Copies of this chain bind each other. A is one copy, B any other.
């Protein structure tokens, strides 16, 4: 809940010369915010998803529900009590580029140390590399709380986890020993260094070069420029390890000639010393959000002394990097949910506290004003946020569960099936929270009225933070092409068939639990529509016209996402009915869940027919328009 700094200023007459321009900022300290609803944790894990089944798998055998609860509770405390209260401070005072070095806020040093203390850089990884073998399903809640508290601060460790995981999966023993170990300990951090000025979304155009040296340690000399490298430099740790895409001299053009290199800021010499590795900060981009995490232009090898170490085989860099990118995309989706959740809870508290206006039927101006949550349109904005946030959270947790099963199930068929489902859902899990989450964040601003438009309140900063999620790790347009062009048609329809089975299970459960049959029917029809539409569009691709197949890929993504989130809401509704049947005391929790489910089914699902028509008809307005004509 927010304090009301402006209200106080307005309500208390003050001498005009006693007020500095910073008065209004006085109260930007530490209003409380739950970030997520605690009640959702057990509900989602054990009533919706039956996450306890993971405990039967050998990889997770040392865990139990208590260790899960402990991990989540530790992150929640840190997020609420430490990260969130300093979030605005770090937003207002971002890292500075001074003499070629990035200097972070001194407060960030404390936060970083406390996050490292949770062991989160390696939590899901095996014990032998320093991890805790925590299920991603649990880790999702851990990271969601931390990202809701301060996405930028968590970013340093999230990136490090992904970078170290690449070395673990594909790197040599030497790289694991020299770099990965320190990264999983949080002693050093890592980056993804893909993007170049001329190659943003188009990785086949990477030009950074790697020249073999014949040196005993096998290093290459790296030269080139990268841009938008998050956490590409800082003074939090002694070293930064850049997982860098580069092209070995003579490699084929395009994606098939791109290799992955480990390029540390400081490299380890044969003698074990750390020396500067000729990676320079060439500039800092002034991002509009995630402001605690610097986004940099890097210049490799200006002195010809930048050593890079090949990870895995030459020319396979893109396929390796996709492991990291798939993980990163889920992380982006979770961030979208987290950012929208913090804003939702903030606007909910504001709506309950802010008096303004009266009910339609009670016009007597001498009666007290009511809290704005009493107005139907404010509840509309709140329930829409809730539907997006909690539907998105359920989706991300489900994707995490599939990831756990894909990696650690003892049954090969279950592993394969879970991987299919994970791959299929990843573009949706990445883009839905980004797109609808931005809309949700805008509603949180709107609920605050004029106060929401000021930097004295936090709503506006989450709106800024959220916008990045539709851009980085593949824009929404790219997710759409990836979904329709690759993933939905993968395995000759096997992925869609597996999804259909999952939805049928949900429908059966929902029917048994007493969910209204029309919701179940609507979901069934939506799923059938997705299947039929995909086949129809795929035929166009098979017939040699990929443009006709993909012209409305973004509409297809929206259609598919809306259906997938409806699936989550029917599942959530089923679990809510089951909870009610067990006589659970919290009737309000159940009522609100069912209202949000109803909202999504009644308000969003009916949009599918129109979206499908746009895809099928190939609605030609922008498709056919000559670029010169605009």
CB–CB A285/B456 < 8 A: yes
Q: A606 an interface residue at 8 Å Cβ cutoff?
A: yes
Which chain A residues numbered 408 to 465 have a C-beta less than 8 Å away from chain B?
Answer: 438, 442, 445-446, 449-450, 452-456, 460, 463
What 1/0 flags go to A1-29 for Cβ under 8 Å of B? 00000110111011111111101110000
| B19 & A369 in contact (Cβ 8 Å cutoff) | no
Are B356 and A200 in contact (CB-based, < 8 A)? yes
Q: If the complex has contacts A14-B282, A16-B282, A227-B6, are A454 and B620 also in contact, measured as CB distance less than 8 A?
A: no
Q: Which residues of B contact A589 (CB under 8 A)?
A: 629
Copies of this chain in its oligomeric complex:
2
Residue in B369, B375, B376, B460 whose CB lies within 8 Å of A288: B460
Distance between Cα atoms of A359 and B200 in the complex (Å): 16
- Is A269 an interface residue when CB atoms closer than 8 A count as contact? no
Which residues of chain B have C-beta atoms less than 8 A from A273's C-beta?
A: none
Q: Which of B452, B455, B546, B553 contacts A377 (CB 8 A)?
A: B553
Interchain CB contact (< 8 A) of A10 among B13, B227, B382, B455:
B227
Q: Which residues of B contact A196 (CB under 8 A)?
A: 10
Determine the distance from Cα of A264 to Cα of B553 in the docked complex, in whole angstroms.
58
Mask for A510-542, Cβ within 8 A of B = 1, else 0?
Answer: 000000000000000000000000000000000
Q: Which of A296-317 contact B (CB under 8 A)?
A: 297, 299, 302
Cβ of A253 and Cβ of B11 under 8 Å apart? no
Interface flag for A568 (CB, 8 Å): no
Please tell me if A281 contacts chain B, counting CB pairs below 8 Å.
yes
Residues of B within 8 A of A554 (CB): 377, 380
* Inter-chain contacts of A357 with B (CB < 8 A): 201-202
CA distance A29 to B560 in the complex (A): 43
How far in angstroms is the closest Cβ of chain B from A352? 7
What band does the interface of chain A fall in when counting residues whose beta carbon is under 8 Å from B? 35 or more
| A626 close to B (CB within 8 Å) | yes
Q: Which of A168-224 contact B (CB under 8 A)?
A: 195-202, 204-205
Stretch at the interface among A111-119, A135-143, A471-479: A471-479
Question: Is residue A348 contacting chain B, with contact meaning CB distance below 8 A?
Answer: yes
Tell whether A453 pairs with B471 under 8 Å between CB atoms, given A15-B302, A629-B591. yes
Name the interface residues of A573-630: CB closer than 8 Å to any CB of B: 587-589, 591-592, 595-596, 598-599, 602-603, 606-607, 610, 613-614, 617, 619-630
> Known: A446-B471, A621-B603. Is A21-B592 also a contact (CB below 8 A)?
no
**A28–chain B nearest beta-carbon distance, Å:** 10
Render A84-115 as a binary contact track against B, CB cut-off 8 A, 1 for contact: 00000000000011111000000000000000
Q: Which of A's residues lie within 8 Å of B, judged by CB?
A: 6-7, 9-11, 13-21, 23-25, 96-100, 195-202, 204-205, 225-228, 253-255, 280-289, 295, 297, 299, 302, 348, 352, 355-361, 363-366, 369, 371, 373-380, 382-384, 386, 438, 442, 445-446, 449-450, 452-456, 460, 463, 467-468, 470-472, 475-477, 480-481, 546-547, 550-551, 553-554, 587-589, 591-592, 595-596, 598-599, 602-603, 606-607, 610, 613-614, 617, 619-630
Given A9-B227, A201-B356, A377-B477, 5 extra CB contacts under 8 A: A352-B627, A360-B550, A380-B554, A383-B621, A592-B625
Q: Shortest 5 CB-CB distances between A and B: which pairs? A: A254-B365, A16-B280, A10-B197, A21-B97, A16-B100
